[in-house]
Amino acid sequence: MLRHQILDFLAQHPEKYVSGERISQQLNVTRAAIWKQIQVLKEEGFEIEGQSKNGYCLLKTPFALNEWVLKRALSTSSLGSKITLEDELKSTNVRAKELARQGSVHGQVVLARLQSSGRGRLQRPWDSPRGGLWMSVVLCPNLSLADASKLTLAASVAIVDALEELFSLRIGIKWPNDLVFNGLKIAGILGEVVGEWNTVQTIILGMGINVNFSREQLSPLLNATTLFEILGYEVDLNILAAGILKHLEKQVLSLEKRAFEELRENWSDRATGLGEEVRILRGEQVIQGIFKGITIDGALLLETNDGEKSFSAGEVQLRSKAGKYF
Ligand code: BTN
């Protein structure tokens, strides 16, 4: 794409002005064509200064999702090898599933700047305004279906690690894979299986992170927060996406080596509510007990009045200092 070639050329000359003439010769197009593409890039959020004498200089890349910026930030070998980025999608998970059925590759990433009907766990809607990171990864890992279910645990660890590495922020994991800060949800993961139970499995890992928008843009009923509320400034979504994919790739490789105990420990290190009194909601049923940890399969272990029990599904409520469950 001509726009990307112009960016590549400008990026090869950091902090320097490159004349329109030089770019047009290099890329074998007219200066008018260059000028037109520079205007489009500016609309996309690139800060490019144009001086009539000296030419163009790339000053800043956008914080909004952008394929060129994201590709430059990526340090992975398989995740993100193919990227589908749309301004708006109903749901990146739905698109990723369509692509998977058409035979997409392991590591294909689907992103949207806005989702019009984002989906959460337990058939809930997922508010996905502009400024969030709405991303799905198609994985065809070398794992049995039972072990593939651990990928959502791996994804939560990857997101926590990326947020810590990039912003020195310590986020907790609320079983099974809600990411919380001070009891408020900042991100969630939706893992879905594509295909028949007995064939080679493709997994869609959908990750939703509330990033560059204020809390008011989410339903008031949600116990949620955003990275912007926590940090007080906006961040580069491309850097964040690349950071998460880097940590996720590491986690997937480690799972493929069957390092389940390591994942369990990593997950537990970041868990909120360990050793505390919690409630599990399973439909109408409410079970109370002490949260002892997770099993190697990711099931939650609860010390109840009737002894130790494990749960592979349900919703956890933690107990606040005031004694309320949330
Ligand atoms: C949850 O309920 O906690 C899971 C939320 C998962 C949301 C993400 S956003 C990207 C992907 N596309 C969707 O429609 N859902 C997931």
> Is pLDDT above 90 for 160?
yes
CA–CA separation, 26 and 146 (whole Å): 53
H/E segment holding residue 202: strand 202-209
240 within some domain: yes
Helix axis angle for 31-43 and 20-27, nearest 10°, is 100
- Same domain? For 76 and 159 the reply is yes
pLDDT band at 280 (very low <50, low <70, confident <90, very high): very high
Q: How many domains does the chain have?
A: 3
188 and 160 both lie in a single domain? yes
Domain that holds residue 38: 2-60
How much distance in Å is there from the Cα of 22 to the middle of ligand 1?
A: 45
**Mutation to probe ligand 1, out of 190, 213, 223, 226 (largest number of atoms < 8 A from CB):** 190
Please give the Cα distance from 271 to 178 (Å, whole number).
10
Task: Indicate whether 217 and 86 sit together in one domain.
Answer: yes
Q: What is the pLDDT of residue 186?
A: 98
Looking at the fold, whether 301 and 266 belong to one and the same domain comes out as no
Q: How close is the Cα of 190 to the center of ligand 1, in Å?
A: 5
| pLDDT surpassing 90 at residue 240 | yes
Per-residue pLDDT for 197 more than 70? no
Written as six digits, the tokens of 51 are 């001086």
Q: Is 206 in the pocket of ligand 1 (CB under 6 A)?
A: yes
Q: pTM for this one?
A: 0.95
> What tokens appear for 58 in the block?
């790339």
Domain co-membership, 243 together with 105? yes
What the block records as the tokens of 6 is 């112009």
Answer whether 97 contacts ligand 1 (Cβ < 6 A).
no
Q: Does any domain span residue 326?
A: no
Among protein residues, the one whose CA lies closest to atom 7 of ligand 1: 208
Q: Please identify, by atom number, the ligand 1 atom nearest to the C-alpha of residue 187.
A: 3
Name the pLDDT band for 93 (thresholds 50, 70, 90).
Answer: very high
CATH number of the domain to which 164 belongs: 3.30.930.10
What is the sign of the dihedral through the CA atoms of 158, 107, 110 and 299?
Answer: negative
**Cα 136–Cα 134–Cα 215 angle in degrees, nearest 5:** 150
d(CA 43, CA 33): 16
Nearest atom within ligand 1 for CA of residue 121: 2
Q: What is the mean pLDDT of residues 139-146?
A: 89
| 109 and 8 housed in the same domain | no
> What b/e string do you get for 170-186 counting C-beta neighbours within 10 Å, with b at 16 or more?
ebbbbbbbbbbbeebbb
In a domain, 325, yes or no: no
- Residues whose CB is less than 8 angstroms from the CB of residue 81 and which lie 6 or more positions away in sequence, other chains included: 105, 107, 108
Binding site membership of 136 for ligand 1 (Cβ less than 6 Å): yes
Judge if 102 and 147 occupy the same domain. Answer: yes
Q: Contact 99/108 with Cβ under 8 angstroms?
A: yes
293 and 144 both lie in a single domain: no
pLDDT at 145: 83
Q: Output the CA 207–ligand 1 centroid distance in Å.
A: 5
Is the minimum distance from the CB of 190 to ligand 1 under 6 angstroms?
A: yes
- Ligand 1 in contact with 121 (CB < 6 A)? yes
List the one residue out of 79, 40, 83 whose CA is nearest residue 62.
40
Q: What is the pLDDT of residue 224?
A: 96
In a domain, 205, yes or no: yes
pLDDT of residue 227: 98
Average pLDDT score over residue span 73-82: 97
Same domain, 288 and 182: no
Buried b (16+ CB within 10 A) or exposed e, 147-167: bbbbbbbbbbbbbbbbbeebb
Check whether residue 171 and residue 41 sit in a common domain. no
Rounded to whole angstroms, how far apart are CA atoms 168 and 143? 32
Looking at residue 195, what is its pLDDT?
Answer: 78
**Nearest residue to 143 via CA among 14, 22, 256, 26:** 256
Query: pLDDT tens for residues 265-279?
Result: 999 999 999 999 999
pLDDT at 81 exceeding the cut of 80: yes
Q: Which pLDDT does position 201 carry in this prediction? A: 81
CATH of the domain at 16: 1.10.10.10
Average pLDDT over residues 146-161: 94
Q: Is 91 in the pocket of ligand 1 (CB under 6 A)?
A: yes
Question: Which is higher by pLDDT, 321 or 178?
Answer: 178
Residues 105 and 242 in one domain: yes
- The CATH number covering residue 292 comes to 2.30.30.100
* pLDDT, greater one: 149 or 266: 266
Q: What percent of the chain is modeled with pLDDT above 90?
A: 84
**Whether 51 and 169 share a structural domain:** no
**Stretch 169-196: mean pLDDT, rounded?**
93
Q: How far apart are CA 274 and CA 190, in angstroms?
A: 23
Section 305-325 average pLDDT: 85
What is the distance between the alpha carbons of residues 26 and 285, in angstroms, rounded to a whole number? 68
Residue 90 located in a structural domain: yes
Any domain includes 305: yes
Q: Which tokens sit at 194? A: 């594509």
pLDDT tens-digit readout, 14-68: 999 999 999 999 999 999 999 999 999 999 999 999 998 999 999 999 999 999 9
| pLDDT(136) > 70 | yes
Which one of 123, 127, 128 would you pick to mutate in the ligand 1 pocket, going by the greatest count of ligand atoms within 8 A of its CB?
A: 128
**Cα–Cα distance, 25 to 77 (Å, whole number):** 33
Pocket lining: 37 vs ligand 1, CB cutoff 6 Å: no
Which tokens in the block code for residue 202?
């493709």
Instruction: Write down the pLDDT at residue 199.
Output: 63
CA atoms within 13 A on the CB side of 311: 25
Residue 174 above 80 pLDDT?
Answer: yes
Of 233, 249, 270, the residue at which a domain comes to its end is 270
Residues with Cβ within 8 Å of 285's Cβ and at least 6 positions away in sequence, in order, are none
Which tokens hold the place of 289? 């007990």
**Residue 200: per-residue pLDDT:** 64
